[in-house]
Amino acid sequence: MTVRVRFAPSPTGMFHVGGARSALQNWIFAKQQGGVFVLRVEDTDAARNKPEWTEGILSALEWIGIARDTYEGPYFQSAYAGEHRAAAGRLYDAGRAYYCDCTREAVQARTGSQYQGYDGFCRDRGLPPGEGRALRFRTPDEGTTVVVDLIRGEPTFENKLIEDFVIARGDGSPVFLLANVVDDLTMGITHVIRAEEHLPNTPKQQLLWDALGVKPPVWAHVPVVVNEKRQKLSKRRDKVALEAYRDEGYLAAAMRNYLMLLGWAPSGDREIVPWSVIEEEFRLTEVNPSPAFFDEKKLRAFNGEYIRALPVDEFVAACRPWLTGTGTIAPPPWQPEEFDADAFAAVAPLAQTRIAVLSEIVPNVDFLFLADPLIDEAAWAKAMKEGAAELLDAAVAGYTALESWDAESLKSTLEAVGAERGLKLGKAQAPVRVAVTGRTVGLPLFESLEVLGRERTLARLRAARLRLV
């Protein structure tokens, strides 16, 4: 039997990092088993679905490493409406479902509670199909439903506590529970690997599989992903969109490594490991069922490690979209023609050790590509204190007289300027750094001045001195 797994997102917004984690787990499991990964887009909620969100899912999967030629699909749930309705009809004909005309208000009136489930009022009324009549599954009165789960053991549910749930609405359209089962059946899905939040639906779906006369798939419910307050990650409250991390400059390799650690760990005392190791070592049965904490600070640290591990030429290429204004949320503060690839290549090794996400490259190197630096006024106030004007005058004089414009000469000149005023180099270079780069922190100063060049450096020092008049 060929293993077939599926990832079935709904295109109702940005791609959730929890969904990306589930997709990776399904994809790796299928690959390990020599099986098939199926992508199914559950698009039956037309009011909430948008084509661009479907394309966003495909693009995000591609970015995370699940290329379009490595899976089957995408299939669209809406294309299987006929199969859904046919299955509902078979269940009705077999006496496993019945029609119900009860409104929510009527049920509440009979039960005296808005929280109690359906009371089975129409179970034996023998209502035929009719407008506005929902189709309910006839849940067995006795016994239990045991869900055999690779991660959670054998959760057991008493059938008497499962209400007769709706499988088709009053207009005949199937609900998620039935459509999901029929799609899995139609596509030959053998293993369902999905988030823990779906576990409460699983006994109902397993009853549907049994009623349709087919053996249910193997279940595996991976842990819910939570924030630092141990609350389930929410699109309304938390930063959960995979695209947002991509556009901020997280590396795909770092992201997928981190996502795979949400509920699982490779062997040994290590977390940052080659993808080949994860593909080899990942085991569904080793996934921890406890909630998994999505730690953005840890992800950021992961990403910094991955950035520092890049060969310099790959780092330069990875930064280019942020430096040239392509594929980013916000363009850089310079025009594309002002970007100097050679200048950036010269400082790239210095910048690579200082950033944790690629978008941070812009404020670190913007001074190289602007006619005038972007002055941080707080930094200016901090650096340009008493004596700054005289120090800038001396720096201009010393740098004008330099025969060799290199980092070591620039450093020794400013050291001498500072020593004449009783200042250590750290204090002496503060006004110079702000005058030239606009900030108090950044790349190593003297290497930056060497790349910026004599003319532009002296022009900025003189402009800063005039501002202090």
Contact 61, 8 (CB under 8 A): no
Q: Specify the pLDDT at position 47.
A: 66
Positions of the chain with pLDDT lower than 50, given as ranges: none
Task: Return the bridge partners of 9, or none.
Answer: none
Q: Which residues contact 205 (CB under 8 A, 6 or more apart)?
A: 177, 180, 181, 216
Q: Which residues contact 259 (CB under 8 A, 6 or more apart)?
A: 17, 20, 21, 24, 64
Catalytic residue among 50, 235, 239, 385: 235
Of 386, 387, 367, whose CA–CA distance to 435 is shortest? Answer: 367
Give the tokens for residue 378.
């707080």
The string of DSSP letters for 193-244 reads EEEGGGGGGHHHHHHHHHHTT-PPPEEEEEPPEE-TTSPBP-TTTS--BHHH
Using DSSP, state whether 145 is helix, strand or coil. strand
Q: Length of the chain, please? A: 469
Does this model's pTM top 0.95?
no
Compute the distance between CA of residue 74 and CA of residue 54 in angstroms, rounded to an integer: 10
Q: Specify the pLDDT at position 329.
A: 72
Give tens-digit pLDDT for 189-235.
Answer: 999 999 999 999 999 999 999 999 999 999 999 999 999 999 999 88
Output phi, psi for 22, to 5 deg: -65, -40
CB atoms within 10 A of CB 236: 5
Q: Specify the pLDDT at position 116.
A: 78
Q: Has 235 been annotated as catalytic?
A: yes
Q: Specify the pLDDT at position 183.
A: 97
Q: Specify the pLDDT at position 46.
A: 66
Contact 8, 183 (CB under 8 A): yes
